[in-house]
Amino acid sequence: MAVQRTFSIIKPDATRRNITGKIVDRLEGAGLRVVAQKRIQMTREQAEGFYAVHKERPFFNDLVTFMISGPVVVQVLEGEDAVAKNREVMGATNPANADAGTIRKDFAESIEANSVHGSDSPENAATEIKFFFTDAEIVG
């Protein structure tokens, strides 16, 4: 399996509780390397654009409002099989269904305030990375 990049967000529930370091520790512990990172306050327009794929879903408006409720940390992660590895360490969307030892099992507050986002395919990872980072901001 080749070295891959994926896109990650540490969500507002985690920045609010000041546990971004604990989350990065889990990512690094899984063999992922942070090759770009910045703390931002997303605008509503940015959050709507980022989650456009979910715009017909019943949770869309709540999700956008949550994602702009505080700062987030956007990241590019690099490693072997990074997309799948990150999804594995994140755990299931709903923390009630997440495996023991995953980020969401240990830190998420709810199905919405679930501490992290991770790209679900290499194609989406490339799109999502470009949404937030220039090439010059990524240092592998």
Single residue of 41, 61, 65, 93 touching ligand RTP by CB under 6 A: 93
> Residue 131, Cβ neighbours under 10 Å: how many?
12
104 is in an annotated binding site: yes
Q: Is 131 marked as binding a ligand?
A: no
CB of residue 90 vs ligand RTP: minimum separation in angstroms?
7
Pairwise CA distance, residues 64 & 31, whole Å: 30
The answer to whether 44 is annotated as binding is: no
Closest to ligand RTP by CB, 59 or 131: 59
Active-site hit among 117, 119, 128, 129:
117
Compare residues 41 and 121 and give the one whose CB is closer to ligand RTP.
121
Contacts with ligand RTP, 99-118, as mask; x by CB under 6 A: ------------xx-x--xx
Contact indicator for 50, 86 with CB cutoff of 8 Å:
no
Helix ranges restricted to H, the chain: 12-16, 20-29, 44-50, 60-67, 82-90, 103-107, 122-132
User: Active site includes 54?
Assistant: no
Q: How many CA atoms lie within 13 A of 114 on its CB side?
A: 21
Query: What is the rounded CA–CA span in Å between residue 42 and residue 55?
Result: 17
Least distance in Å: CB of 3 to ligand RTP?
Answer: 21
Tokens read off for 18: 């000041």
Binding site for ligand RTP (CB under 6 A): 59, 63, 93, 111-112, 114, 117-118, 120
**Binding-site residue ranges:** 11, 59, 87, 93, 104, 114
Which residues are known to be catalytic? Answer: 117
